[in-house]
Chain A
Amino acid sequence: MIKVRIPTPLRPLTKGQGEVETKADSVVEMIEALNSTHPGIKDRLCDETGELRRFVNIYVNEEDIRFLKGKDTSLKDGDEVSIVPAIAGG
């Protein structure tokens, strides 16, 4: 299983859970799997072409997927994924 850390702004989609588990062999599969159990999550993370939105980062075991293989980054059992929203303020 893959452990996925859900940031505060997405928790309304996961019934308040800060961490969910899913099965996936890549980040893109993980996003699809999350979207089937928590509909709407994909739209928050990816644009209409399926690319990661510029106001979100995904880290696999503390490594930024933008410097791995992006959404095609592979995942294996036991990996920890963090979805990180942009640093922001007012």
Chain B
Amino acid sequence: MADLVISQIILDDIIAHAKELTPYECCGLLAGTDGIVSRLYRIKNIVAMEGAQNLSSFDSAKVAHLERLSPDERAEIAFVMDMQDFSTAKKDMRNNGLDLQVVYHSHPHDPARPSVTDIKIATDYEEIWPKINLPLPAYLLVSLMNTEPDIKTYWIKAGRVTPADVIIR
């Protein structure tokens, strides 16, 4: 059995979200039941908000890099989820009996694979998910670097990245 089942409609919605925000990174959540994704939540990328880079598990090199950029430029190479949006999505999931399945974001200029920062933050977050009563999600990346968008999904566990088995239907 596949790790995840995602409809083409949801994938098209992720691509539409990425294209709407390019050259900035988009981010969001997919929820469902038993690996079957049924709902998408767009979350605002607030990396440009003052101080966001300091409380987001970025390493010091990434923070220094972000601080050299203008707020607009920051959103081209990073995302920070608006946790108010996140809370609203989490509540909606609970009200509808859904679980978090996937965290997604876009790479407007880079391939659809996790960056060093993505891996570090996902690894830091492994101990947080159970504390907030959510299962460990898969990570989906959409790349817009080529004409044809590329989508790939991974598990990130203990700093190791492995492809997730996804059925599209």
Contact = CB atoms under 8 A, between A and B. Distances in A.
Interface of A: 5, 7-10, 44-45, 53-57, 59, 62, 64, 66-67, 82, 84-90
Interface residues of B, number: 40
29 contacts: A7-B55, A7-B57, A7-B124, A9-B54, A45-B55, A54-B52, A54-B82, A54-B84, A55-B49, A55-B52, A55-B55, A55-B56, A62-B133, A64-B132, A67-B87, A67-B91, A84-B128, A84-B131, A85-B56, A86-B56, A87-B27, A87-B86, A88-B57, A88-B58, A88-B79, A89-B79, A89-B121, A89-B122, A90-B77
Given A9-B55, A44-B51, 7 more contacts: A54-B49, A54-B84, A55-B49, A62-B131, A87-B27, A87-B121, A90-B58
Contacts of B78: 88-90
Question: A interface, by DSSP: helix, strand, loop or mixed?
Answer: mixed
B18 interface: no
Contacts of A54: 46, 49, 52, 82-84
Interface of B: 25, 27, 46-47, 49, 51-52, 54-58, 62, 77-84, 86-87, 90-91, 103, 105, 114-118, 121-122, 124-125, 128, 131-133
B99 to A, nearest CB: 14
Contacts of B87: 57, 64, 66-67
A11 B66 CA distance: 20
B56 A88 contact: yes
Given A54-B49, A55-B83, A62-B132, A90 B62 contact: yes
Contacts of A44: 51, 54-55
Nearest to A63: B133
B46 A64 contact: no
Contact of A55 (B46, B77, B90, B121): B46
B128 A86 contact: no
